[in-house]
């Protein structure tokens, strides 16, 4: 249904559990006959960098603003230039609705986003903008009829601004991770709106708003691209008799938001084929887990436990998860978020890169991989430092961020491998002409690119 509650940003899992994730995989069956890869073309580069832009209120009422907390609002010009230096010409970023429409409804102060938009343009970095990344203006009831109307008007106003500033239609995600917000804010009261047992009701409200916003953007800019970004998970209950509950509350429920946006279920919410345009898949190191379920007083069934290694036979390979999403919806997709903390950053990207290449070989039209977050940041609950980005948060005196060298080297190697697969020049070579390619990582590709049917 969502990213699990123990996701690093939300609660912080023990670092000691991560080592087993990258043990050598078992010998797999041979790959099927490779297909001619579908050439990605939506984004400015195959690899994107995503800036954490959450703006929700926590259970204690405190408003988060991760763009301000990381000083991305101050250092956007340098941040985007650094992305470009690593061959990344596309990004995800946030508009911060609570600031833009922080006064009277319908009056927009674009000063929080204009510096970011203009900095991206100056660096020639294409940005996909999150309009609602968990947060909305104070005083607006997410369950009210006013919510979809307000989001739609604001979305249309941003589309006009973007067209005026850039001369191009925008790429926007109206509501980021409807499933996670419905669970965290509607079932568990861990974030706004802070209620229990109303997750499905909140999901419907968010889908209604996202659909209205998508149509409003298209009225202003018919060629705009609309992103529907949701997590994919796989839950394995310890008790076999709970498999049905895991399907109902997690493995099956994770598809509800996309199904609603596509108009496959509850079309009265406003979903339809034109609303589900580009599918964004979020996948972190702990998106698959083994658990023991329990019923809560709110009537919700919760199942939390230990993350599964990608090579655990109970886990589903990422390439299979991507293929299943594409088979269900038939839309282009991209890996919209993926990361891990600490020294496992480079091995994790190595694993993810191998899985995405396998998906492409099997005919899945993957448009890109977004390193999210690309900039390390404070944790949601306790402000602890989360070292999960290509760039570390504390800038040097010149405003440039320190680079996590192992991940930078792995990124360059992955850019080379994707260039070989897709038959085009490496993005890293375009950014740094003549620079030497780093040697292949110590782990041979055969040990990280599993070939299972």
Better-predicted residue by pLDDT, 178 or 450: 178
How many whole angstroms from its chain centre is CA 265?
Answer: 24
Could you tell me the pLDDT band of residue 452, with boundaries at 50, 70 and 90?
very low
Asked whether residue 197 carries a pLDDT value surpassing 70, the answer given is yes
Helical packing angle, 114-122 and 146-166, nearest 10° = 40
How far apart (Å, rounded) are the C-alpha atoms in residues 145 and 133? 20
- Going from the C-alpha of 240 to that of each of 243, 306, 391, the distances in angstroms are 6, 17, 42
Could you tell me the pLDDT band of residue 34, with boundaries at 50, 70 and 90?
low
- Lowest-pLDDT range of 227-236, 277-286, 293-302, 439-448: 439-448
CATH 3.20.20.80, applies to 38-448: yes
Nearest to 215 by CA among 149, 117, 146: 149
The whole-number pLDDT of residue 384 equals 96
Structure tokens at 40: 């990605």
Helical packing angle, 72-85 and 114-122, nearest 10° = 20
Could you tell me the pLDDT band of residue 312, with boundaries at 50, 70 and 90?
very high
Q: What does the pLDDT look like over 114-137, one tens digit per residue?
A: 999 999 999 999 999 999 999 999
Q: What is the dihedral of CA 281, 287, 290, 292, to 10 degrees?
A: -90
DSSP per position, 161-190: HHHHHHSS--EEESSS-HHHHIIIIIIB-S
The whole-number pLDDT of residue 39 equals 87
């Amino acid at each position: 249904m969502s990213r699990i509650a123990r996701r690093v940003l939300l609660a912080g899992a023990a670092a000691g559990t991560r080592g087993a994730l990258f043990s050598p995989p078992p010998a797999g069956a041979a790959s099927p006959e490779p297909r001619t890869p579908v050439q990605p073309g939506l984004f400015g580069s195959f690899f994107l960098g995503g800036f954490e832009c959450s703006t929700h209120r926590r259970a204690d009422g405190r408003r988060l603003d991760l763009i301000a907390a990381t000083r991305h609002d101050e250092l956007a010009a340098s941040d985007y230039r650094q992305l470009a230096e690593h061959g990344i010409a596309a990004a995800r970023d946030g508009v911060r609705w609570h600031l833009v429409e922080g006064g009277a409804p319908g009056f927009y102060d674009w000063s929080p986003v204009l510096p970011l938009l203009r900095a991206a343009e100056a660096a020639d970095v294409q940005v996909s903008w999150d309009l609602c990344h968990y947060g909305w203006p104070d005083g607006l009831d997410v369950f009210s009829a006013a919510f979809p109307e307000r989001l739609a008007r604001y979305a249309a106003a941003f589309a006009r601004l973007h067209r005026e500033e850039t001369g191009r239609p925008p790429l926007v995600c109206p509501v980021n991770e409807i499933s996670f917000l419905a669970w965290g804010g509607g079932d568990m009261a861990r974030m706004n709106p802070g209620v229990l047992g109303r997750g499905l009701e909140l999901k419907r409200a968010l889908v209604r708003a996202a659909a209205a916003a998508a149509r409003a953007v298209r009225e202003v800019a018919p060629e705009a691209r609309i992103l529907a970004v949701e997590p994919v998970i796989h839950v394995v209950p310890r008790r076999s008799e709970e498999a049905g509950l895991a399907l109902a509350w997690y493995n099956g429920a994770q598809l509800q938001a996309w199904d609603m946006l596509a108009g496959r279920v509850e079309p009265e919410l406003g979903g339809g084929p034109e609303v589900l345009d580009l599918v964004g898949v979020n996948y972190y190191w702990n998106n698959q887990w083994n658990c023991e379920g329990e019923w809560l007083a709110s009537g919700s069934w919760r199942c939390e436990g230990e993350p599964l290694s990608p090579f655990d036979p109970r886990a589903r390979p990422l390439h299979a998860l991507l293929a299943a999403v594409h088979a269900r919806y038939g839309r282009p997709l991209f890996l919209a978020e993926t990361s891990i903390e600490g020294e496992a950053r480079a091995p994790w990207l190595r694993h993810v890169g191998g899985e995405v290449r396998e998906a492409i070989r099997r005919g899945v039209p993957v448009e890109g991989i977004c390193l999210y977050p690309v900039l390390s940041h404070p944790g949601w609950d306790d402000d602890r430092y989360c070292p999960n980005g290509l760039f570390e948060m504390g800038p040097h005196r010149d405003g440039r961020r320190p680079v996590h060298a192992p991940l930078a080297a792995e990124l360059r190697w992955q850019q080379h491998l994707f260039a070989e697969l897709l038959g085009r020049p490496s993005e890293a070579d375009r950014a740094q002409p003549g620079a030497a390619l780093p040697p292949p990582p110590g782990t041979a590709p055969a040990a990280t690119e599993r070939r299972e049917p």
